[in-house]
Structure 1
Amino acid sequence: MGVRYTHQAITTEQQIEILKERGLLIDDVKQAIEILDTISYFRLAGYWRHFETDHSTHQFRENCSFSDVTDLYSFDKQLRVLLFTAIQTIEVSVRTKIIKHLALEFGAFWFMDENYAINKTRFAANLSVIRKEVSRSHDDFITEHFRKYSEPDLPPVWKTLEVISMGTLSKLYANFSDSAAKHAVAREFGLKHHKFLRSWLECLAVLRNCCAHHSRLSNRVFPVKPMMPERMPNTWITDFSFREQTLYPQLCYVVYWLNSIFTDNTFVTDFKQLLARHQSVNPHLLGFPYNWEQEPLWK
């Protein structure tokens, strides 16, 4: 059983003194105070943890500076922006492809029919969430639909799937019973089996939430590992010796997915330029293997 928390709030100046006592080099105290007054102590703590030699005493490595920490923070912030733009492209395309392939064959309201669900319990839970998410939508096409129609109690799939969350969309796809239709959607993105798209959708929902909620990407342990097939129809990676729960495999499937939608996208170039602007950031902190720039996907 844990002990009662008794620590009291301290000033920004006191926070600076604690960091200096732990060995962090702070050349410009005034600037450091301004930064900590803008970015909270414990938000930055996730970044300077990488620079600690001991996570119990929180002592810093020799010659580690406050600017190293803020540079990593800045890199991470810009990476989230870059990644969120890529995720937006993928998300919009996935919604479009699922609507395209499933609506024509299974009707406008297949997502409300439990006969198309693998697991009936999950179907009921998903439908309940969909109703809540649609009811919160203020999109014109949703409000106009309800002004005109009263039955069924949800709009058709081509409207509904545009306003549900990525997490809900992921669960809806995973629980759909027709494998052939799911394969057809997966093939649109250069994937041989729907299980890979199911896995990537699940991971993308988590990654999207990290970006949307300004969560740290660097040195993060992701709770869900994406399936990484050794052979793919399109340009892919060859070395699978990376750490599975790091950002690297997440970025790999994003790049592959993005390439299947727009072959002339600039994500890889933009990412390399971002690294070049932040020389103190080591890509190994993101889980990148030493030879990552030689991988076909990243050339």
Structure 2
Amino acid sequence: MRSHGLVVDDEDEAIHFLSEANYYRIRGYWLTFEHNGKLDAGTTLDDIREVYRLDEELRLWLWAAIGQVEIKARTAFAYHLSMACGPLAHEDQKYFDDQKAHAKTIRSYEREKSRAQRDGVPCVVHNMSKYGDLPLWAAVEIMTMGNVSRLYGNLSDAASYAGGRTVSKAVADEFKIKPYHLKSWLQHLTYVRNLCGHHNRIYNRTVTTRATLLKADSKYQGSKAFPTFLVLMRIYEKLWPKQWERMAQRLGDIVSRHPSVSLRPLGFPEDWKTILSVPSTQERPRPGLLARMKRFLCG
């Protein structure tokens, strides 16, 4: 660390940090401070650790936020495809544009199904023993988010209700957006979810699977993390607006706990709080303040 120019004041503390987080894991977090193979003068281990801790909290926030979207996507996809085309429509190639891609997704799903059988997952054991297969509403419970995202993104117009409404549009209507955007957003959120699930770095990461933003948000398009937060806000404000208020507050709290860490490597603009509807600290009363005041005044 010192050979790279990092200031390490407490060797024991540094060794303890390294014993809990691999050197090359920590190495990724000081790339922001590094130029021409050397760290900026005066960069300390505490600087790196603050970035590390912010990143950890943001990953947990993203994991929770994406989780609810994933469950909604599974539910809407299973309901509309099975209602329109039957309980085993997910296995029928005629409902998908790219048959090779569909076959690859189904192979992945079959591996998950076999694993679930071995593990004795109740809905899988029940349906396989009684019917010999899983209806879609049970299948989505063992599918990865990636499988659901790929199946939805590969739907053809043949997957339609009798009246002509496509399943792709029906699912997108549940999210109150167009299918074009939902396909992109689910693919992007799957990518970010997998990063979070494997505890990978979000801070200063170049995002390779980008989301296509709404026209009103297109000026924030970029290769860093900010578009992910913007996509989540757009979904939550349409489906769960009250919940977004609480989540935005938690996001603001996370950032405020690490005031020394720049948000620029995450792609956050200066007015990110306004964009994401994050209340300022002054706008929020301290938890339990009124109750404490009452006890103070009344004795």
Tell me the TM-score range normalised by the shorter chain: 0.7 to 0.9
Corresponding pairs, count:
267
| TM-score normalised per structure 1 | 0.85
Structure 2 residue 46 is matched with structure 1 residue 70:
no
Q: 1:93·1:261 contact (CA, 8 Å) conserved in 2?
A: no
Q: 1:90·1:261 contact (CA, 8 Å) conserved in 2?
A: no
- Percent identity of equivalent pairs: 28
* Separation (CA, whole Å) in 1 of partners of 2:97 and 2:152: 10
Give the aligned partner of residue 149 of structure 1: 131
Q: CA deviation at 1:203?
A: 0.7
Q: Which has the higher helix share?
A: 2
Amino acid of the residue matched to residue 88 of structure 1? Answer: G
Q: 1:252·1:297 contact (CA, 8 Å) conserved in 2?
A: no
* Separation (CA, whole Å) in 2 of partners of 1:100 and 1:279: 45
* Separation (CA, whole Å) in 1 of partners of 2:16 and 2:106: 47
* Separation (CA, whole Å) in 2 of partners of 1:296 and 1:74: 22
Give the aligned partner of residue 225 of structure 1: 210
- Alignment match of 1:205 (pick from 183, 186, 190): 190
* Separation (CA, whole Å) in 1 of partners of 2:192 and 2:46: 27
* Separation (CA, whole Å) in 1 of partners of 2:154 and 2:167: 12
Moved more, 33-42 or 94-103: 94-103
Q: 1:97·1:185 contact (CA, 8 Å) conserved in 2?
A: yes
Q: 4+ residue stretches of structure 1 with deviation over 6 A? A: none
Amino acid of the residue matched to residue 70 of structure 2? Answer: E
Structure 2 residue 96 is matched with structure 1 residue 111:
no
* Separation (CA, whole Å) in 2 of partners of 1:297 and 1:272: 10
Q: CA deviation at 1:296?
A: 5.9
- Alignment match of 1:285 (pick from 261, 265, 282): 265
Give the aligned partner of residue 83 of structure 1: 62
* Separation (CA, whole Å) in 1 of partners of 2:252 and 2:20: 28
Give the aligned partner of residue 234 of structure 1: none
Question: CA 1:172/1:216 → structure 2, altered by over 3 Å: closer, same or farther?
Answer: same
Q: CA deviation at 1:243?
A: 5.4
* Separation (CA, whole Å) in 2 of partners of 1:37 and 1:182: 48
Structure 2 unaligned spans of 5+: 158-164, 280-299
Give the aligned partner of residue 230 of structure 2: 252
The one-character-per-residue Cα deviations of 1:55-91 (angstroms, maximum 9, x if unpaired) are: xx3x110221100101110111111111111111111
Give the aligned partner of residue 253 of structure 2: 273
Give the aligned partner of residue 24 of structure 1: 6
| TM-score normalised per structure 2 | 0.85
1:131-170 equivalences in 2 (<5 Å): 131-137=110-116, 138=119, 139-150=121-132, 154-170=133-149
